[in-house]
Structure 1
Amino acid sequence: MVVANIKNLTREEIIGNALQIRDEVAKVALETEKLGNISEEIMKKLCEAGFFGAMTPSEFGGQEMPLDVVFDVCDYIAQGCVSTAWVTCLVSVHNWMVGLFPWEAQKEVFADNNYNLISATFGPKGKAFKTNGGYILSGRWSFITGIKHSSWVIVGGMYLSNSTNEKPIPKVFILPQKQVEILDTWYVSGMKGTGSNDIKINEVFVPEYRVANLIDLLNGNSPGSKVLKSANFQWCVASVAALSGTAPAIGATKRVIQIYKDKLNNFLQNNVEVRQTSLVRLSDIIVRLEIMELLMRNSIKDMILNTESASLTLNDKAKYRVQCTLVVKECKSIINEVLDVMGSRSHYLTEELQRFARDIAMIYSHTMLDFDGANEAYGKLQLGLPHNTPII
């Protein structure tokens, strides 16, 4: 499903749309969780709000907005529903990712509109063999967010040469969703509404122009960066994915802090004494979250400036990922602290706070936000040791 002819919007208009949708998705958040997917109605409203074309190439009518716009949008939406924010964030970024592919692929994906609904996973779980004009791709992939709504899918796979002297090469492939089999596997404790089911591909032909080298995309040296004018398409995939992926965690934590404030205000209005420890905790978690948000916004600015000045280093990219994992870890800590003091009712599965706690736990487990792995790689770089993590 794609809603065509979305007019160009200003940053203020897009943010205003996010604020309005925040309240709408909050009303149906429980239903979204039970459904295991975003409803068609909400997905249509997300399309109409202009989020998905915010970062696509201007050559196709996209707005090429900076990354912090998507960050703001997903921050606000997460205050209503984390699953909806996560899907919004990923689909927006996946549209930007299409701009990293060869020109012919971009023209095909954006043939009818300045965005599309795209799911993706870069983990090279598939196997690909060269054939005339392209590749034959097979494999199975997990955590394919929003796959039932998507028109296109981006997946990673290892190109296996017939030559014994040539090592496998990680590549990414983009293909129509109708060519993949969707497996009903999304039975989880958190982020239930993202519909992140598995997919299976069995010997599907992918033309050469819809294939790119994964290492080139990670290094900001993609085919798209050579043909598009904007410096936006020189950003590296891992940095963009990690930085934008923290927005739902920050938005969720803002809402949880507000729930805690509302409870304390309710005590005051009913002449119930508020404990000094509660006031100390409130101040502490507010300031901690403000620091985390400031860190992310500064990191986004730093990544953009370093890319534009061609001074972005491996150390920079590793640092951004560490900062992202720290932010999510701190958000998880704040939410769990609030959950601990909100009483037994907050553990009902239907309670808003309980849902946020389950969702943040799921975000924290994401491979791009692996705290130990990110810090290990960054620590090795500080000592001049080789790292074993290609996704930085």
Structure 2
Amino acid sequence: MVRAGCGEVWEVLSEVANEVLAAVRELLPDIAARAEWVDESRRLPADVVGRLTESGVFRMLQPRRYGGAECDPGLFYEVIRELSGACGSTGWVASVLGVHPWHLALFPDAAQKDVWGADPDALVCSAYAPIGRLEPVEGGFELSGKWQFSSGCDHASWALLGAMVIGAEGRPVDFLTVLVPRSDYVVNDVWDVVGMRGTGSNEIVVGQAYVPEHRVKRNYETTRLVGPGQKVNRGPLYRLPFGTIFTTAVTVPIVGTVAGCFDRYVGAMQERVRLSLGGGRFVEDPFAQVAVARASSEIDASVLQTERNVAALWDLARRGEELPMALRLRARRDQVRATERALEAIDLLFKTAGGASLARGNRIERAWRDAHAAGVHVANEPERALALYGRGVFGLPVEDTLV
């Protein structure tokens, strides 16, 4: 159960999180003004990352023991939605780099000290696909591999990488996430894509690196909601499922991007006059009115369902109660549906804007590209997640690292 006095603690931490939101809102006009530059440059400017660091975004899910806010994750996602509304790439990088302190908090305390002991503002990137190769050696493992799609890695001094332990017969025997310092890997600038161009999601290469035992976390344990870091980070935040916290972090930027586009779309269309289909003001077209209604409903549903599930899990964790699999599956179901709904909404806006949405650099065009690019992340595959929910409803066993 929650210890006496915890209510006051959470009120203070919520106040800190609200201060972060206020600081971020002051940055939004400049972030929106630089969105085209970010898109063309394929990375976030260092000063933008620095200002996000100063505002406290990257410490929202970081343990209090290392200067973090350790706040309600719902507040973190609210910040990410607003950032994404100004610039999809900025929101995506802030979300991905901002969620990693939560995962690192599940590692042994020695690993946390390695990262935050000297610099509480140290950033951690990731590439979770278990394609690295781990060979057991004395005191740890020897790691090698090449990973794609590590968002924001240019700004990080550590990386969380997925890898397989190779047994005596040359077959994988375990799947792990390992923590590696920047000195042990090379970043190759290969990110040149159609959408989310400014995320700098480049390639990480480890030729051969020693990984001590304390910088390793078993994926199986993470799925079971346990980790050595819970011995020192006892708050409810670190008893929540990776399958909710991380996957929501890759959906919220999409929803925020689309929500921001909706606001700009409404403003841009106020004075538009059709040059065909009989002319007339765009806002008086009933088909445009229906499209706006449908798009706004999809956005609202995405936000409301996501908030409901995260709040329900957070409430149970704060009370020290079990997190039922049915709720974890529902959160995963609604997370992928939030992505689907956001994409349906942006498609409606893009289509009804007509030729006005086609010019390169147009905000509607960029939001459309960004949302669809982010939508192909493995955590946003709807069929996989929806099938898991169906298995649970039918009483079948569910085994997946993203639940």
Give the alignment's TM-score, normalised by structure 2: 0.90
Out of 290, 310, 329, which is 2:340 matched to?
329
Structure 1 residue 283 corresponds to structure 2 residue 293: yes
Structure 1 residue 183 corresponds to structure 2 residue 188: yes
Structure 1 residue 357 corresponds to structure 2 residue 362: no
Distance 1:228 1:163 in 2: 38
**What is the deviation of 1:103?**
0.8
Structure 1 residue 98 corresponds to structure 2 residue 92: no
Is the contact between residue 56 and residue 115 of structure 1 (CA under 8 Å) also seen in structure 2? Answer: no
AA paired with 1:298?
A: R
Task: Tell me the equivalent position of 2:123.
Answer: 117
Structure 1 residue 265 corresponds to structure 2 residue 276: no
Cα deviation 1:127-158 (Å, max 9, x = unaligned): 10111111101111111011111100001111
Task: Tell me the equivalent position of 2:387.
Answer: 376
Secondary structure at the counterpart of residue 57 of structure 2? coil
Task: Tell me the equivalent position of 1:390.
Answer: 401
**What is the deviation of 1:163?**
6.6
**What is the deviation of 1:215?**
1.2
Cα deviation 1:216-264 (Å, max 9, x = unaligned): 1222101111221212111121210112322212211212211221134
Out of 36, 39, 56, which is 2:45 matched to?
39
Instruction: Could you tell me which runs of 5 or more consecutive residues in structure 1 were left unpaired when the two chains were aligned.
Output: 1-7
Secondary structure at the counterpart of residue 360 of structure 2? coil
Secondary structure at the counterpart of residue 228 of structure 1? coil
**What is the deviation of 1:388?**
5.9
Task: Tell me the equivalent position of 2:329.
Answer: 318
Distance 2:394 2:258 in 1: 35
Q: How does 1:149-228 map to 2 (within 5 A)?
A: 149-162=155-168, 168-228=173-233
Task: Tell me the equivalent position of 1:18.
Answer: 24
With over 3 angstroms needed to count, the CA separation of the structure-2 counterparts of 1:167 and 1:199, relative to structure 1, is: closer
Is the contact between residue 164 and residue 172 of structure 2 (CA under 8 Å) also seen in structure 1? Answer: no
Is the contact between residue 222 and residue 234 of structure 1 (CA under 8 Å) also seen in structure 2? Answer: no
Distance 1:137 1:369 in 2: 28
Is the contact between residue 87 and residue 145 of structure 1 (CA under 8 Å) also seen in structure 2? Answer: yes
Secondary structure at the counterpart of residue 222 of structure 2? helix
AA paired with 2:121?
A: Y
Distance 1:147 1:11 in 2: 25
Distance 1:151 1:199 in 2: 12
Distance 1:185 1:360 in 2: 20
Distance 1:253 1:163 in 2: 49
With over 3 angstroms needed to count, the CA separation of the structure-2 counterparts of 1:167 and 1:198, relative to structure 1, is: closer
CA RMSD of aligned residues (A): 2.0
Distance 1:360 1:349 in 2: 15
Distance 1:390 1:300 in 2: 18
**What is the deviation of 1:178?**
2.2
With over 3 angstroms needed to count, the CA separation of the structure-2 counterparts of 1:219 and 1:198, relative to structure 1, is: same
Is the contact between residue 223 and residue 400 of structure 2 (CA under 8 Å) also seen in structure 1? Answer: no
Distance 1:167 1:39 in 2: 39
With over 3 angstroms needed to count, the CA separation of the structure-2 counterparts of 1:389 and 1:237, relative to structure 1, is: closer
Distance 1:363 1:306 in 2: 30
Identical residues among aligned pairs (%): 22
Distance 1:116 1:209 in 2: 18
Is the contact between residue 235 and residue 304 of structure 1 (CA under 8 Å) also seen in structure 2? Answer: yes
214-223 vs 308-317, which moves further: 308-317
Is the contact between residue 143 and residue 196 of structure 1 (CA under 8 Å) also seen in structure 2? Answer: yes
Is the contact between residue 257 and residue 338 of structure 1 (CA under 8 Å) also seen in structure 2? Answer: yes
Out of 65, 71, 75, which is 1:65 matched to?
71
Secondary structure at the counterpart of residue 205 of structure 2? strand
Secondary structure at the counterpart of residue 271 of structure 2? helix
**What is the deviation of 1:267?**
4.3
Is the contact between residue 135 and residue 165 of structure 2 (CA under 8 Å) also seen in structure 1? Answer: yes
**What is the deviation of 1:349?**
1.7
With over 3 angstroms needed to count, the CA separation of the structure-2 counterparts of 1:115 and 1:100, relative to structure 1, is: farther
Q: How does 1:136-155 map to 2 (within 5 A)?
A: 136-155=142-161
**What is the deviation of 1:167?**
5.9
AA paired with 1:335?
A: I
Task: Tell me the equivalent position of 2:312.
Answer: 302
AA paired with 1:281?
A: A
Is the contact between residue 321 and residue 369 of structure 1 (CA under 8 Å) also seen in structure 2? Answer: no
Residue correspondences, number:
383
Provide runs of 4+ in structure 1 moved above 6 Å: none
**What is the deviation of 1:351?**
0.7
Secondary structure at the counterpart of residue 246 of structure 1? helix
Distance 1:59 1:387 in 2: 35
Task: Tell me the equivalent position of 1:3.
Answer: none
**What is the deviation of 1:313?**
2.8
Instruction: Could you tell me which runs of 5 or more consecutive residues in structure 2 were left unpaired when the two chains were aligned.
Output: 1-12, 274-279
